[in-house]
Structure 1
Amino acid sequence: MLALVFILLVPAPLGAYAVYLRVQYAGEPSAEARTRNNDALWLGHAWVDGRKTEADVTALAEQLQGTGIRDLYVHAGPLEHDGTLPLASVSPKARWFTTAMRAAAPAVQGIHFDFEPVQSGSKGFLAVLDQTHELTTARGVPLSVAAAQIDPIFHVNVLPLLLTGEGKWWSHGYFAEVARRVEQIAVMSYDTAMPLQSLYGGYVAQQTQLALEATPASTDLLMGLPAYWESNPSHWGHAETVAAAVRGARLGLGASTRKNFGLALYIDFTATPENWAAYRDGWCVAP
């Protein structure tokens, strides 16, 4: 009987939530919801392991022209179990790339952490951010972090915890705790399992609103764009598109005048010309 009740009750709230997301995706984004030149791009490991050349750096700099991309998140890891990063063996061309890239297209220098998974409420992660922030502050560079999505429905994070032992979302409060400890936070607003573009776009709109509420005005906030294709239960490529994410973020941003807001493309080596066009046309080009 308990199982039957569960089966009967679960579809109702999920259906109501789907309707809510579809409503979130309705209407026209504000004309003011355009790039504030605080966007970013995640870059793969090829840029720091010797596979890229000066010509590639020049091509990347040219590709970034006319966009709002200011920051590049370069994959320089992985870290060792003790937290060290042996650049000489893991990313031997890291210094070459940062020097070449700053010469070709000046960008902000700093540290971007992408630790996965980080469970909501993790005190260890907050401690790492506190310790790192002391170092970055002393050197006058920003600390940036990739963040999990925010719990979209009250305590829904309990479900994946019960089923897999790992949560998918951060609580609103924990997201705020992380955001207060960094200069920039980028939400990984993809891999949502949404089956339709309208639902995915509505979900991004909701996540944008939640993140805006939780992020201090002094911290840069960016929403991730899925510039890659997968087709599986956690990421339906026909639904999770750059165009839907851009439109959803614009709807969530509304008429906000917040300047330190942006979008972040994930990731350079899978981004297609269509992905770039959706980002440029939807976010960078005024109507």
Structure 2
Amino acid sequence: MRWLLTRVLAGLAALAVLLVGAAALLGYQFTGEPAPWAASQGADAAWVGSWEDTGALDALLTTGGVNTLYVYAGDIGADGSVEREPGTADLLSWLAAEHPDVRALAWLRHVTEGSSLVRDRFDEEAGATLAAGAAEVAADGFAGLHLEIRPVTVNDPSVPDLMGVVREALGEDAVFSVQAQHVELVPGGRVPSFVTEGEEKYWSAGYLDRVTEHADEVVLPGVGADMPMDVLYGGFMVRQVTEGVGALADRDEVTVRFGLPAHTSGDWGPVEDTESIGTALTGIRLGMTRVEPPEGMTLGVALYVADEADAEDLAAYTAGWLLS
């Protein structure tokens, strides 16, 4: 018993050292001044969950920084079936009339719980069903597809395979956007989270590259970081940029976006006090300054979600990213 207790305490001590080291790393990352060029490239996006009132969305689009919307178009079942969200045609009509230069992608999501380490997230039959259904939705007035599937465990082979099948079903003319999970802050850093939470919060850089191989656009979320302090959240966003850009640096042409927390209702995920648009943008700009993205890579941000963004969020986006 004493031997076991000693081993447990040693393990806890090692974990504590790891956490302290990670906190120090993140705090250090969130220092310095971003370069003047590290700002909007006019290729930003926003998720849209509701469109009964388009006031907040209209205010955001009027800034001119957002050219893409991920319009909630339905949920994906475990068998790959797609349950459509009604009324998307109304928003598409509004966009065509009021903001014709903004393209809309069909946002389909599969959000569940647990690991896909032992059982793949989608088997071959479910993947074929999903690909066909997603292509049908995307062709219904949208410019393409934005796909969100989580959580997915690193090395689950079904999801990279699925992305290839979806790409083929969409065709080459449609825009294919993939929402990734957070990339691990340091190599191997995903393991403690997986052990304690029982599901994968982080992806390795290599798995991020594999999953998004067929995507035109990749989105790394800026919410759900679970950082206890805003300075750590800022450092977290710096690392998302440097690690994410590094993982995808060999792509010929790709757009990479980083999420901004603008959700307030909790309908689309937990609201965390330490996460703000201002802190996220400072972290993103610092990350861009340090990594210097390669030619052919376009960087942007994406507001989560546009219909819940208030005037304070809009002011933070305008001042911190559009620099106006």
Which runs of no fewer than 5 residues in structure 1 stay unpaired? none
Q: Residue 102 of structure 1 aligns to which amino acid in structure 2?
A: A
CA distance 1:235–1:29, change in 2 (3 Å): farther
Which runs of no fewer than 5 residues in structure 2 stay unpaired? 1-5, 104-142
Q: Residue 79 of structure 1 aligns to which amino acid in structure 2?
A: I
Give 1:247 deviation, angstroms: 0.4
Name the structure 2 match of 1:248. 283
The equivalent position to 1:128 in structure 2, one of 159, 162, 170, is 162
Map 1:75-90 onto structure 2 (within 5 A). Answer: 75-87=72-84
Q: Residue 282 of structure 1 aligns to which amino acid in structure 2?
A: G
The question of whether the paired residues in 2 share the 8 Å contact of 1:230 and 1:237 is answered with no
| DSSP-derived class of the 2:149 partner | coil
- Tell me whether 1:284 sits opposite 2:315 in the alignment: no
Structure 1 vs Structure 2 CA RMSD: 2.3
Aligned pairs, number: 272
The question of whether the paired residues in 2 share the 8 Å contact of 1:200 and 1:244 is answered with yes
| DSSP-derived class of the 2:151 partner | coil
CA distance 1:155–1:6, change in 2 (3 Å): same
Partner Cα distance (2:160, 2:168) in 1: 13
The question of whether the paired residues in 2 share the 8 Å contact of 1:195 and 1:236 is answered with no
The equivalent position to 1:116 in structure 2, one of 131, 140, 150, is 150
The question of whether the paired residues in 1 share the 8 Å contact of 2:60 and 2:314 is answered with no
Any idea what the Cα deviations from partners look like across 1:120-166, whole Å, max 9, x if unmatched? 2222111221111113234x111001110111133232223333431
The equivalent position to 2:304 in structure 1, one of 266, 270, 277, is 266
Name the structure 1 match of 2:10. 5
Partner Cα distance (2:22, 2:59) in 1: 42
Identity %: 28
Partner Cα distance (1:59, 1:271) in 2: 6
| DSSP-derived class of the 1:260 partner | strand
Partner Cα distance (2:93, 2:283) in 1: 35
| DSSP-derived class of the 2:302 partner | strand
Partner Cα distance (1:235, 1:93) in 2: 26
Name the structure 1 match of 2:71. 74
Map 1:151-170 onto structure 2 (within 5 A). Answer: 151-170=184-203
Judging by fraction of residues, say which structure has more strand: 2
The question of whether the paired residues in 1 share the 8 Å contact of 2:56 and 2:308 is answered with no
- Tell me whether 1:18 sits opposite 2:51 in the alignment: no
Partner Cα distance (1:279, 1:63) in 2: 9
CA distance 1:12–1:229, change in 2 (3 Å): farther
Partner Cα distance (2:235, 2:264) in 1: 19
Name the structure 2 match of 1:64. 61
The equivalent position to 2:272 in structure 1, one of 237, 241, 258, is 237
Partner Cα distance (2:180, 2:96) in 1: 26
Name the structure 2 match of 1:37. 42
Q: Residue 272 of structure 1 aligns to which amino acid in structure 2?
A: D
Give 1:26 deviation, angstroms: 0.5
Partner Cα distance (2:79, 2:21) in 1: 46
TM-score relative to the length of structure 2: 0.77
Map 1:182-201 onto structure 2 (within 5 A). Answer: 182-201=215-234
TM-score relative to the length of structure 1: 0.86
Segment of structure 1 superposing worse, 91-100 or 201-210: 91-100
CA distance 1:219–1:159, change in 2 (3 Å): same
